[in-house]
Structure 1
Amino acid sequence: MRTQKRRALVLSSEQSGHPFRRSLPAHVLEVPPHLRPAVDDEALAARRWKMRGGDWQQFLAAYCASFLAIFTFIL
């Protein structure tokens, strides 16, 4: 007859992949409300990183100037 191993009952979170994190209680992994980013902050950050027409022109101008300077130096 096969005996079953006794295992402690541990509530685990499906999101945590590491065995140590799975063994922690759910309240330990929660982010406190004052540390959660606001939706407005995320939208503002996404808007800040978008490249607009003037940004592309400045980037291309700097890239071309750097390329020409390096190419001239090499020749």
Structure 2
Amino acid sequence: MRRALVLTDESARHPFRASLPPHVVHRANEIERTVPWRQRLSITRKEVETVMATYTAAFVATLAFIA
């Protein structure tokens, strides 16, 4: 008699999720706290201004050479 290594959970509704052990499914159902992307990347206003100034200068220089 062949028996599955992991008993299935019928409430999972997907064959792969049903085959996962209960402790994995329990952890997957927990909602992870989200952090705003600015705090996650720790980008400051000064860095954004510097990038925008560089991009604008390069764009203007490119237009000057084309025109």
Give the TM-score category using the shorter length.
Answer: 0.3 to 0.5
TM-score (norm 1): 0.43
What is the TM-score with the length of structure 2 in the denominator? 0.46
Task: Looking at secondary structure, tell me which structure has more helix per residue.
Answer: 2
